[in-house]
A = this chain, B = another copy of it.
Amino acid sequence: MRHKRHQQNIAMPGMCGTCPVRRLALFQPLSEEEVAATQGYRVDTRVVEPGGAVFRQGDSSAEVYTLFDGWAFLSQRTADGGRQILEFLLPGDFFGLQPGRFGDARIHSAHAITPVSLCVFTYSGLMEMFKEHIDLGMRLTWMTARDEAIAHEHLVSLGRRSARERIAHLLLELFHRARSRRQDPEPGSTIDFPLTQEHVADACGLTKIHVSRILSALREDNLLVWRAKELTIPNPARLAAVANYSHDLAASRPIL
């Protein structure tokens, strides 16, 4: 089996009460006792190997998820075989909620990039938690609004920015999101970055060939180093200027 080594490295969820990603996650506003209670609603934990699907377009939607460890993404396929990546998922991100009724066909797919571990909740369990903990509802609304704002930012990129700007923008966004997850506020400018150039292409609405060319140019200008699944941005401000990077949604704090 491929990637065996990675699978052994992956962190697995333990007790909700001591969850290391909680400060990023849906359950952030709950007290210690409350969060312990959510464990009763967690119906499962799960591991998905690289390239595997958490769910696929057309599947029945009965569950929602918190990503515990690893990288994943939401995507949609077009009739002619193309793929659009809608959103990258990092540890602490909540996903799987969609409009419509429980059990409706999923409108997107969710795939793992690295080996991924998940906490699984049922739709109905989420609803019950909602009723008991109003703060959770607000937090969920806030997180959804934040995801919508990120989607809007991507819309601006795809609609009105050049390939160079789009790529710079995406890399910066992921750079900041990945760094905001780290406990240590140590400012090293390198992050783990397991994407392929094709992922970047499918997120930016470009061809992987063109992405390769632009990346060479950005490297040429000493704006970034990307080797061996690690990304270094020596001078984020300079790359931000290239990208017209405006709001940093990664840094936005909850309404509560």
A30→B171 CA distance, assembly (Å)? 44
* CB atoms of B86 and A152 under 8 A apart: yes
List the number of copies, as a whole number.
2
* CB atoms of B146 and A99 under 8 A apart: yes
Q: How far is the CB of A164 from chain B (nearest CB, A)?
A: 13
- Asked if A108 is an interface residue, CB under 8 A from chain B, the answer is yes
Output the residue of A74, A76, A131, A253 with the most chain B CB within 10 A. Answer: A76
* CB atoms of B160 and A255 under 8 A apart: no
> A161-B78, A247-B107, A255-B101 known; A144 and B138 CB under 8 Å?
no
- Asked if A84 is an interface residue, CB under 8 A from chain B, the answer is yes
* CB atoms of A159 and B255 under 8 A apart: no
* CB atoms of B99 and A142 under 8 A apart: yes
Type the 1/0 row for A215-233, where 1 means its CB is closer than 8 Å to any CB of B.
0000000000000000000
* CB atoms of B255 and A155 under 8 A apart: no
Report which of B83, B142, B158, B249 forms a contact with A158, defined as CB distance below 8 A.
Answer: B158
Q: How far is the CB of A163 from chain B (nearest CB, A)?
A: 12
Chain B minimum-CB-distance residue to A154? B155
Q: How far is the CB of A111 from chain B (nearest CB, A)?
A: 15
Type the 1/0 row for A133-167, where 1 means its CB is closer than 8 Å to any CB of B.
01001101110111111011011101111000000
* CB atoms of A160 and B252 under 8 A apart: no
Please indicate the chain B residues that have their CB under 8 angstroms from the CB of A254 in the complex.
99
* CB atoms of B138 and A127 under 8 A apart: yes
Please indicate the chain B residues that have their CB under 8 angstroms from the CB of A82 in the complex.
160
* CB atoms of A159 and B84 under 8 A apart: yes
Please indicate the chain B residues that have their CB under 8 angstroms from the CB of A209 in the complex.
none
What is A's interface to B at a CB cutoff of 8 Å?
74, 76, 78-79, 82-84, 86-87, 97-102, 104, 107-108, 127, 130-131, 134, 137-138, 140-142, 144-149, 151-152, 154-156, 158-161, 202-205, 244, 247, 249, 252-255
Provide 8 A-B residue pairs closer than 8 Å at the C-beta atoms, listed in order of the A residue. A78-B160, A84-B155, A99-B252, A107-B149, A127-B138, A130-B137, A137-B137, A141-B141
